[in-house]
Structures are given as C-alpha cells and as structure tokens.
Amino acid sequence: MSIELNLKKIKKVVPQDIKLIAVSKTKPISDIQKAYSLGQLDFGENKVQELIKKAETLPKNIRWHMIGHLQRNKVKSILPIVYMIHSVDSIRLFEEINNRAQNLKKKIKVLIQIDISQDQTKFGFSFDHIESIFKSNELERFHHVSIDGLMGMASFTEEKRIIKKEFLSLRKLYNKYKKKYSFKYLSMGMSGDYKIAIKCNSNMIRLGSNIFGSRNY
Ligand SMILES: *Cc1c(COP(=O)(O)O)cnc(C)c1O
C-alpha cells in the first residue's frame, strides 16, 4: 500500500482534534515528501543526526519532533531545529535544554516521558519520581522550557488489557497535574496500539509503520 493511501485511511479514522505525528525514522526523504504533499507537517525522528540532515533538505515549515532518547551532548545541535522534544527523562536533561534554550533566547516545547511499561528497555521517569518532582515545584526554575504534556510507550505485548492499564495509569497522572502545569498533550499510541490509546484519551499519536511501512534496521 502507498504512503498516500495509508495516510488517508488513518486520517479518516482518527478524530481531527488528535495530533498525528508521522514517525519517519529510518525512512528516506522521498517518503517524507509524499506525506508532506498531503498536508502532513508533523514528523517524528529518534536520532539527532538523521533529524538534522532531513531538516536541512526538507521544507522549513515542517515541525520536527524528537521522540527518541536524547543525550545531553546533542541538545545544543538539535535546539535550533526541533519543534518539540517528547522524551525528556531526567532533571539533568531539563537543565541542559533550559540552559541552551536561554542562550538562544528561545522557549522549547517538551513532553516529559514516563516509564509506563513493564519492558526494561524503555526510558522515562518512574511514577514515584515524577510525582515527587511535580509536588516539589522544582521544574519552575526552567523558564526556557515549556512543559506541554506527558509521553509514554506501552509494553510490546499482544495483551490489550495490559496496554490499556498502562495508558490509563498515564492518563491518571496527566489529569492530576494538567491544571497545575497547563498540559496540552497526552502523547501515547503507536501503530500497534493507537486505537486503545485514543480510547484512553490520548490526544497525540505517533505512527510510523502504519504510514510508511515496516522498518529495516
Ligand atoms: C518508532 C517510534 C514510534 C512509531 O512506531 P510504529 O510502531 O512504527 O508506529 C512511536 N513512538 C516512538 C517513541 C518511537 O520510537
């Protein structure tokens, strides 16, 4: 199936008020151009070098989302280009983003990644850690970071019951602190589980293989 048809099909079933990030990691420029020609402007990448290279070539009105684990020494190079960082998973990373953004006189949109899954491979704050941070107000000193919401990845499992439970745990945290931090986005749901995520009130989904086909690493 073509990228154009995939995207059209997805847009038909996904409500308009849900932000769709097209995850283009490992995919060529030409694939991004196809989605772009249909009006898709939000693209997700998980490697800094790849994101920078693609951004150099592609139209400037594309909004680049950094969705993968971000190393602090890469923050400086990505800040001038990135629209939103979905994967802030430590206070030290917050600090680095804030300091570099201050130098650029910018305010950077971020999501805080929460480790909601049973898998050992995922990054993110634990629920206990982030709750103690939220209660302590220690994020308030990061004036150059706009905390736009929370992001989580569910376990890789066929068991919908587990996925749903994980999404609901993130929704609960989101709702608890939504007012205090003026959250806008609850980013959860990938190709395999976005329908469950939407039922759990996700308003930002990140789809790769559903749009661009499976990836060969
Ligand atoms: C790769 C990736 C996605 C997209 O995965 P698909 O299963 O191809 O839709 C979404 N979110 C993150 C954080 C990713 O790394």
pLDDT digits (tens, 9 = 90+) for 54-80: 999 999 999 999 999 999 999 999 999
Q: What is the pLDDT of residue 217?
A: 67
| Mean pLDDT in residue range 163-182 | 98
* Residues 158-197: b if buried by 16+ CB within 10 A, e if exposed: eeeeebbebbebbbebbeebeeebebebbbbbbbebbebb
Please give the distance, rounded to the nearest whole angstrom, from the Cα atom of residue 136 to the centre of ligand 1.
32
Residue 209 near ligand 1, beta carbon < 6 Å: yes
Is the pLDDT assigned to residue 152 strictly greater than 90?
Answer: yes
Tell me what pLDDT residue 58 has.
Answer: 98
Answer whether residue 1 shows pLDDT above 90. Answer: no
Does residue 177 register a pLDDT over 80?
A: yes
* 120 has pLDDT over 90: no
Report the run of H or E that residue 204 belongs to, with start and end.
strand 204-207
**Nearest alpha carbon, ligand 1 atom 4:** 208
At residue 118 the predicted structure's pLDDT band, cuts being 50, 70 and 90, is: confident
Q: Enter the pTM of the model.
A: 0.96
